[in-house]
Structure 1
Amino acid sequence: MLYVNDYIYEITLVKDKNTVFEQLKNNLRKDKDWLDKKIKEWQKVTSRLNKLIVMIDENISAYDNKQLALLYKDQVNSLADSWSYPIMGEGCDPFSTNRLILQIQGELKVSSQEAREIALTLTKSKVKSFLDEEKLGLLRLALLKKQKSLKFSLELKKHTAEYHWIKNNYLETQVLEEEFFLEEIDELCKSSIAEIKNKLHELENYDSVVKKQKSALYKKYDLGKRFSEGLQLSISILEKMAWWIDQRKIVMLHGFHAIFKILNNICKRFKDTPYILHDMKYATDFEIYTLLAEDKQIDRKLLAERRKFGLHALDATEEWTYLSGKEAKEVYKVFMQKFASTEIKGLTASVGKENKNLIGEVNVVSNVNKEHFKPGSILVTSMTRPEFVSLMRKAAAIITDEGGITCHAAIVSRELGIPCIIGTKVATKILKTGDRIEVDVKTGVVRKI
């Protein structure tokens, strides 16, 4: 991982991800229930993590430094354990981005556009995403408010308690208040009761609609006979991973909330050595533990240096390397040179409602809370997360560096009906805010004009 001014670059080899994906398929060939068993194991690990999160939320001030050190260590280890299971889903990205559509096209002898639509439908999760569940709650609240129901206030409190974390990300967390959700509800209330009911009906019936869409494709193309065993297996993996990665995100956003709460508490405890909360996020687990357990102070200059330019690498022997400052900057330069290209090409995850090329102005955003987004512009970012949804709703199109066909940007853009190109690898390196570009939804090519 390369850190540059709070921006994170994941540097992994495509061949390693392909190896993970092939191993995943081999495991399922030997045991068709292998993935389901792993998910059950993950759910047990996650259950323990959730108990720790509750402890941190309720009792953090009651622990002395050494007790907090042990709690922190336990939380980090549990979070890592929880992360380690669905991380296999990352191995699906190169296949879903580069090979899936071509394989469907080859086996069915259909156009690339037809193959893409088949791929998008078959890899959809059969279950609503947590963002859809939250949207469903907001729509129900909007309906209650429009109907002037006495239940509205109580239901708003329940919704706030359930989704106060939804704007969290891997850098910052916040506890949302009722006012935030009221603004969202007021926006929905601009629609008529009939329109709100229609949107509610669509979301409430998502599961059955998706099931019918998949069944219709299998019947239309006789996919049970025409798809190879390998392709059917790959699609079933992608479908399940779409759900699992969505669930992982819920766990991670809660988990990071707890970690950052501990770090914030540490900053208050060590007032004589004023640590900056954002800088503390670049301390290693060992540094945090020894600070609490042994009162071993952390070099604040080193933390600030890592935040500006830092590298955290794991080699084939499972040895960690940490670089910062000039050394990390040199790695960054080499990394950026690999993207000294003017061609931007990715996978079209959504063609948009109009299904035609789009010309517009670029707006690059890496941090939703720090950078302005101009409504109607084309959102360019490394990858989208839940806190990006408010921007995505205002965007004419979305372009990302990362992601596969089941990623967050792909799913949300299809829901919004706007064009989306994912997995370009280089969009944020080549494009700048204000650039004029043309987005070709048929080929996934983005051109400066």
Structure 2
Amino acid sequence: MGDGLEIFYKGDLMYSTPDLQFLHYFLADDMLETAKEIFSRMEKDPDWMKKRINEFRQAVKGFEQLGEKLIKAGETFSEKNKQKAIEVYEEFLQRDYEYWRPSIFIDLFDKFEDEIIEFIFKGKEKIISKESLQFLLLPNRSVFWQEKEDFRNIKEYMQKNNLKKTSRPLWEKLKNHANKYWWVNNDYQSVKKLTASKFLPRLDERSENPFWKNISKQKKDLIVKYSLDKKTVERLKQFNEMTYLRDIRKQYTQIANYYIITFFQKIARKLSVPVEWANFIIPFKEYGGFLNKDKKLLKDLELRTRKGVWMFGVDIDWKTNVETAKAPELFELVEGHLKGGNILYGNSASLGKARGKAKIILRQSDFDKFKEGDILITGMTRPEFVPLMKIASAIVTDEGGITCHAAIISRELNKPCVIATQTATKAFKEGDLIEVNANHGYVKLIE
């Protein structure tokens, strides 16, 4: 396993639905020994997580410049320079691998919340209130909190200097902000480069409470209150940093998605292939066939727009088997093993109780149907979900662990949140009246 980073998720299955939902399954219980091995490395080396962050930072140096090179290769693609485009893509793909290597282990901990808490606190969690425990598990920093803080500073600058929205100094600041955070609304389905004008409407929004500013001080107070020793604080800090590593990995995944999706869409146009077919290319496996306009692959891509596609992990080198023709039947088979009843249990990410109408939100195009007071049910929240999370009465996810986006933001917003239910998006129907009891970790159908 090298330094705890060469991880193969046992039973690794990935499915892209015809409407581009991406689902990941693996045998979580079989990964416990791997998690324990990483616990051991963290125990022996208090800087273990810091080293992973440093490796990640090294891997993403020049990443956006490489991405721009990839976009240019797509724009200038022709039969004559096809091999050059493949080489540029492979260079980008290799860099993409390099930032995943020191961060891929994070997801295996989603299943092991109890083990994480036991590892950090060694039994002391029994004397710590649930509210304090959840607060201690928050990260001390977040790239998304930093974006909010930077934008908050722009608003204060505008107000302090009594500037109009058309003023040149304000626009320069908005341009700089867009250059730094252009990727913030991207996901696996929709990608775009935000310009200064896209940030402009936020100047009219009510300023958020800068919740994140006092986290470090409040944590120090809790550490004193519960008499946590140096070793406990070191272990806690490592998991706080793991949450931050997950955060910056999300940042660069959103950046990578833009470059990869845009590249393949540009190639599709050059090849006179329907652009939507490009969305179903397996990026690390089928790029050569696509650029060479392989007939069998093109036939499969068309089929995937109707059936989706499965990828089966084979080994640690990311080799995969692929299934398209029987994809819907396999999906029904897998999901059939996971279906729950009228009560689903998960992990409490943020305490509280709420009742409301269930709204199943799987993609950005679903956002308009969400109303204030609805209960947000999704596979996993991402940064673009935050406006919905603010007006939701509660949040429920299929996936996630104590370091996930839903857990962090729900605590920030003080919203009841139950994560890792596995099947909430399928067990409940649109408009169901449900109860979320995050104090006890369950979601119940009322009517």
Per the shorter chain, which TM-score range?
Answer: 0.7 to 0.9
What's the CA shift string for 1:16-75, capped at 9, x where partnerless? 432332111222344443333333222222115333123235665345322111111221
The equivalent residue for 2:7 is none
Cα distance in 2 for partners of 1:316, 1:60 equals 31
The one-character-per-residue Cα deviations of 1:335-358 (angstroms, maximum 9, x if unpaired) are 11122321211122112xxx4x21
CA distance in 1, matches of 2:54, 2:106: 16
The offset of 1:180, in angstroms, is 2.6
Sort the Cα spacing of 1:109 and 1:34 in 2 relative to 1 into closer, same or farther, 3 A.
closer
Structure 1 distance, partners of 2:371, 2:198, is 21
Distance of 1:337 and 1:418 partners within structure 2: 31
**Secondary structure of 1:153's partner?**
helix
Q: Aligned-pair distance for 1:93? A: 1.4
- In structure 1, the partner of 2:297 is 299
Give the structure 2 partner of residue 407 of structure 1: 404
Structure 1 residue 85, shift from structure 2 partner:
1.5
Q: Is the 8 A contact 1:101 1:115 kept in 2?
A: no
SS in 1 for 2:247: helix
Q: Taking structure 2 as the reference length, what is the TM-score of the superposition?
A: 0.85
Matched, 1:244 2:245: yes
Shift of 1:137: 2.5
Match of 1:47 in 2: 61
Partner of 1:187: 205
Structure 2 CA distance, aligned partners of 1:220 and 1:58?
56
Say which structure is richer in helix: 1
State how far apart, in whole Å, the 2-side matches of 1:104 and 1:438 are: 31
The structure-2 alpha-carbon separation of the partners of 1:278 and 1:119, relative to structure 1 and needing over 3 Å to count, comes to farther
Cα–Cα, structure 1 residues 110 and 34, in superposed 2: closer, same or farther, change >3 Å?
closer
**SS of match in other structure, 1:393:** helix
With normalisation by structure 1, the TM-score equals 0.85
Q: Shift of residue 103 of structure 1?
A: 7.6
SS in 1 for 2:409: helix
Q: CA 1:169/1:415 → structure 2, altered by over 3 Å: closer, same or farther?
A: same
The aligned residue for residue 256 of structure 2 is 255
What are structure 1's unaligned runs of at least 5 residues?
189-195
1:399 and 1:246 map into 2 onto residues whose CA distance is 20
Deviation at 1:403, TM superposition (A): 0.9
Corresponding residue for 2:86? Answer: 69
Report the residue type matching 2:193 in the other structure: V
* Residue aligned with 1:438, SS: strand
Instruction: Give the SS at the match of 2:380.
Output: coil
Q: State the secondary structure of the residue aligned to 2:249.
A: helix
Q: Distance in 1 between matches of 2:67 and 2:193?
A: 14
Q: In structure 1, the residue corresponding to 2:16 is in which secondary structure?
A: strand
Mapped pair 1:11 → 2:25: yes
Matched, 1:20 2:34: yes
**Contact persistence 1:19–1:91 (CA under 8 A):** no
Partner of 1:369: 365
Structure 2: runs of 5 or more not aligned: 1-13
How far off is 1:167 after superposition?
0.6
How much has 1:79 moved relative to structure 2? 0.9
Please name the residue that 2:331 is paired with: 332
Contact 1:100 1:119 (C-alpha < 8 Å) held by counterparts: no
Identify which of 98, 102, 111 aligns with 1:94.
111
Alignment pair present for 1:213 and 2:225: no
Aligned partners of 1:410, 1:119: CA distance in 2, in Å? 13
Partner amino acid for 2:255? H
Q: 2:6 aligns to what? A: none
Matches within 5 A, 1:309-348: 309-315=308-314, 319-326=319-326, 328-342=327-341, 343-348=343-348
Deviation sequence 1:159-191 (CA, Å, 0-9, x none):
222222111012220122333312122122xxx
In the aligned structure 1, how far is the partner of 2:76 from the partner of 2:298? Answer: 26
1:48–1:78 contact (8 Å) kept in structure 2: no
Structure 1 residue 249: Cα displacement: 0.9
2:83 and 2:435 map into 1 onto residues whose CA distance is: 57
- 2:105 paired with 1:78: no
Helix, strand or coil: the match of 1:369?
helix
Matching residue's letter, 2:359 = N
- Look up the equivalent residue of 1:214 and give its one-letter code: K
CA shift for structure 1 position 234: 5.2
Aligned residue for 1:264, secondary structure, equals helix
CA distance in 2, matches of 1:268, 1:109: 57
Counterpart residue type for residue 46 of structure 1:
V
Residues 336 and 130 (structure 1 numbering): CA distance in 2 closer, same or farther, change over 3 Å?
Answer: same
In the alignment, structure 1 residue 437 sits paired with structure 2 residue 442: no
Within 5 Å, give how 1:57-206 maps onto structure 2: 57=71, 60-62=74-76, 64-96=81-113, 98-100=114-116, 107-108=123-124, 110=126, 114-127=128-141, 129-147=142-160, 148-149=162-163, 151-188=169-206, 196=207, 199=209, 202=210, 206=212
**Percent identity of paired positions between Structure 1 and Structure 2:** 27
Deviation at 1:117, TM superposition (A): 2.3
Please state how far the C-alpha of 1:88 moved relative to its aligned partner: 1.0
State the 1:109 CA deviation: 7.1
Q: Is the 8 A contact 2:71 2:263 kept in 1?
A: no
Query: 1:383 touches 1:401 (CA, 8 Å); kept in 2?
Result: yes
Identify which range, 259-268 or 153-162, moves more after superposition.
153-162
- Distance (Å, rounded) in 2 between the aligned partners of 1:434 and 1:90: 31
Change (3 A) 1:263 1:4: same
Q: Is the 8 A contact 2:46 2:235 kept in 1?
A: no
Deviations 1:294-341 (A, max 9, x none): 453453331133343321011357652111122x22321221112232
Aligned length: 420
Equivalent residues of 1:102, 1:115 under 8 A apart: no
Q: Report if the CA contact (8 A) 2:380-2:397 is conserved.
A: yes
Q: Assess, with a 3 A threshold, how the Cα gap between structure 1 residues 443 and 105 changes in structure 2: closer, same or farther.
A: farther
Partner of 2:420 in structure 1? 423
Alpha-carbon distance, 1:115 to partner: 4.1
Residue 21 of structure 1 aligns to a residue in which SS? helix
Match in the other structure for 2:3: none
Say if 1:441 and 1:106 are closer, same or farther in 2 by CA, change over 3 A. Answer: farther
Secondary structure at the aligned position of 1:10 is classed as strand
- Partner SS for 2:229: helix
For 1:193, the equivalent position in structure 2 comes to: none
